[in-house]
Amino acid sequence: MSMLTPPGMGGKYRVTGAAYPRMSRKRSRPRIVLAVLGSVLALALVGYGALQLIDVFRGDSPKRNTAAGAKDCPTTPPKPAAKGGSTAASTASASAPAKPAVVLPPPGEITVNVYNATPRAGLAKAVGDELAKRGFVVGQVGNAPADFDKKVPGTGILLGSPTTDEAAYSVLGTQLTGTTQQNDTRETADIDLILGDAFKELSTKEDADKALALLANPVPAPAKC
């Protein structure tokens, strides 16, 4: 007899172990569905992350490809060279057309008057002698006129007529840096070089020759994509 059977009762009233009520909870279907969905989502995230890592290590990132495409210019295959010609020369001429050389007057065709607007004695003569050695025609040498004497804070002023060739200014400007350009009422082609307080010395002949060569043969600008 079971301990749960009251005294004096038996037979059909006897409670056996098989008749005990089970206390286990019923499983909720929504929880099961959410668990399955969470597992699927986690697996998808793991797979996506693995693909991204593979792309990074292989260098196939979309951002990298976009940046590379924006930086690199499209190239065109070189044209076949003509008989007796050079493939390299054909490629260079096709990729970047050179600018025509600029015709500049030689220093021997430029007359320069050197004037000293600083307190430094003998400066105009020293600069005039050096310009003469470099091929320029040196005209008058001396102290600057009253309108400029002790009134030029910069390196110097190039003073000429309104009709003076701009190329002559450029050639003379290669001999020193930082000058400004002005015009007066003269009708001659000579140019005044008025030395200011900031002037130290002329550019070295080597630097002046390089600047002159670059002025005569300008470097072509890089091609735009």
Q: Which residue has the tokens 């037979």?
A: 11
pLDDT in tens, 95-114: 555 566 778 999 999 999 99
Distances (CA, A) of 170 to 20, 44, 78, 179, 200: 113, 70, 38, 11, 20
What is 118-169 written as a DSSP string?
Answer: SS-TTHHHHHHHHHHHTT-EEEEEEEPPTTTTT---SSEEEEE-TTS-HHHH
Residue 36's H or E segment, with its range, is helix 29-58
C-alpha distances out from residue 135 to 71, 171, 209, Å: 47, 11, 12
Give the pLDDT band of residue 220 (cuts 50, 70, 90): confident
pLDDT at 93: 46
Predicted TM-score (pTM) of this structure? 0.57
Residue 192 confidence (pLDDT):
98
Output the CA–CA distances (angstroms, integers) from residue 101 to 106, 198, 214, 218, in the order listed.
14, 33, 10, 7
103 SS3 class: coil
Q: What is the mean pLDDT of residues 13-18?
A: 54
Find the distance separating the first CA and the last CA of the chain, reported in whole Å.
100
Summarised one tens digit per residue, pLDDT across range 75-97 is: 555 555 555 544 444 444 445 55
CA distances from 64 to 58, 59, 71, 139, 185 (A): 11, 7, 11, 63, 62
Contact present, 137 and 108 (Cβ < 8 Å): yes
